[in-house]
Amino acid sequence: MRLRFFTLDVFTTRRFAGNPLAVVLGADGLDCATMQAIAREFNLSETVFVLEPRDSVNTARLRIFTPGVELPFAGHPTVGAAVLLATQRAPEMLTRHGVVIALEEEIGLVRCEVVRDASGAVLARFDAPRLPVRGAPAPHAAPLTQALGLEAEEIGFGHHIPSSFSAGVELVFVPVRSRAALDRARPDPAAFPALLGERIGAYLYTSETVEPSSAVCARMFANGVGIGEDPATGAAAAAFAGVAHAFEAPEDGEHEFVIEQGYAMGRPSRIILGSRIEAGRLVAVTVAGHAVLIQRGDLDL
């Protein structure tokens, strides 16, 4: 069997930045074990497999794997796959007025709008398939300091305290007082997984940013999925809308801001997070980002 694959850099407009992604097309004949083996071979944060949709009105079905596990939903594979499918299947429409891509993921249907902007870069925006919900109580600051290599006074700022949220996968969100502390954080190999348990990672964030146009600078240390640090985490960004709503109490209306991630890894990434508040309630979340094609080839299986 020979399958076509592509790699893209996601949440960036330039090559060799952002979060690398592998996309394997025509994967209907693969079983779970083979998909997991291919994801381990690529050894990227995620590899996405494109299959025929269960419902023919949709564009495609996706299965998403880290090197260690399958995920029900992830943001950078959603953005990258949507950009690739739009540019492969409808390049003329993409240039004229954009394309709507409907992706069946394990979490449910994810609707994406893909457009080519004035600079020629391609951007995908998707509606979060689930609104953020609070998870289990977050660890206290003292065990977090040991697990993350920080000082107690470096955790928390403004109204922000550690919390847990999920928009499909649950993470611990840790507010960090400064970017210097954020850059210095290092998970302890024993204490970190013991503290997080079943949660998929810890998302550290600060309001001190590298780029003046960003609102938040973040790092995501993964837990139990076969990677260490993720350069850009769209599912975490979707859940972060719950954090922002809980601790910033934004007014009713539409809101949009940029989360920068991956800068400490030399993989600068920019995630555009949107939300809508009605009567004080978070009612909609969107995640957007660019993606650029890096390579294409064949898998011989």
Catalytic residue set: 46
> How far is residue 227 CA from its own chain's centroid?
14
**Among candidates 298, 299, 296, 300, which has minimal Cα distance to 84?**
296
Which amino acid belongs to residue 163?
Answer: S
Burial of 112 (0-12, 13-18, 19+ CB in 10 A): buried
Pairing of the two strands 2-10 and 133-134? unpaired
Q: 119-135 burial by CB neighbour count: b if 16+ within 10 A, else e?
A: eeebbbbbebbbbbeeb
DSSP string, 186-197: ---TTHHHHHHT
User: Tokens for 88?
Assistant: 């492969």
* Alpha-carbon distance values, 245 to 2, 183, 273, 277, 283 (Å): 47, 25, 12, 9, 11
As a whole number of angstroms, the longest Cα–Cα distance in the chain is: 56
